[in-house]
Amino acid sequence: MKITSIRTARLKAPLKTPFVTSLRRVDALEDIVVIIECDNGMVGYGEGAPTPQITGETLGAMESAVDFISPYLIGKEMEGFDKLIHTLHSVIKHNTTAKSALEIALYDLKAKSEAQPLYRMLGGTKKEFTTDITISMGETAQMIEESLNAVTLGYDTLKIKIGSDPETDAQRIIAIYDALPTHISLRLDANQGWSPQESVTLLQTLEHKGIIAEFIEQPVAAEDIEGLKYIKERVETPLLADESVFSLHDAKKLLEMEAVDYINIKLAKTGGISKALALADLCHDYQIKCMIGCMLEGPISVAAGVHVASAKADTITMLDLDAVALLASHPTKSDTSFDESHIVLADVPGLGISL
């Protein structure tokens, strides 16, 4: 089974509402899709979303990286899978989202060649999952309305985007908390918006009012590892690292410092499935639970994340894979079921997604 061609296409779909964080605003999904074809007619699909503020990659940069890597893979046998993965990562540095898109397509192909769903090929058994949904940053009244609408759709965990002025953020969170039924869990994501001192002041303000979120995600700049530790030592709210963790090296440093409570794994940051699995194993060794998240990607990449979650279900206990639910229309064919907060993997070979 030999790779005969690798090409890219663009996947486009409107969002139901703009996706707004402290770092960016997105009005429509536009990702790259990697399509790998083999001499036996099998096709594998991968996907990556541009997040220049986080990974440094634009659509054009990802397409160029895939074009650069492809000659090293074309003509190679899929039976040498581990060597293909090593080559993909060794011929160019960084470009983690482009590498992830290629990896997803390769894993899709490998699972298809073995006539297994990817999650089962990776050793997973769990098929059904529940994700949170993101509430974009905006005016407080609008955020309350979107939160209440999410509850009517069946979500019981909301991820609230904040990270502007800490005092305003505190008022937003308190207002949303007061408006929601008591069984709803809140996750907070500041996207590097605050200083360590601001983070502590805000979280202690919430805690004094009895509001302890499931976690606060990446409140300080990605490189401020000491700042994360400073926060963790002073608040009750669990701390989750996102942009601070791209690699095993990043995670190990945080874990050795005991600077965080949880790690957010994203395929676009790790460079794909192989590194995400290794990161989950590292966290398991440190007895740290993980969340698996996404970068506002479409069904291909989100499905890949769910397959990884199944493979490492003992460590990946939280899902933030709501990107498909944020789309106004679905741009792919899917055997995987995306029904708002509920995602169910299909018993079909590969990812269960096609164009």
Q: Which residues are catalytic?
A: 161, 266
Distance CA 16, CA 27 (A): 9
In angstroms, the Cα distances linking 94 to 11, 183, 210, 246, 268 are 23, 42, 42, 10, 11
Q: What is the dihedral of CA 203, 207, 211, 216, to 10 degrees?
A: 30
Distance CA 156, CA 184 (A): 5
> Comparing C-alpha atoms, which of 254, 190, 197, 192 is closest to residue 216?
190
Residue type, 328: A
Residue type, 40: N
Residue 73 and residue 1 in contact, taking contact as beta carbons nearer than 8 Å: no
Listed in sequence order, the residues at least 6 apart from 151 whose beta carbon sits closer than 8 Å to its beta carbon are 158, 180, 181, 184
Helix axes 96-113, 59-69, angle to 10 degrees: 50
Local structure of 159: helix, strand or coil: strand
In the chain, where does DSSP find H-type helix? 59-69, 81-90, 96-113, 118-121, 140-152, 166-179, 196-208, 225-232, 248-257, 267-270, 273-285, 299-311
Residue type, 24: R
Two tokens at 116? Answer: 């297994």
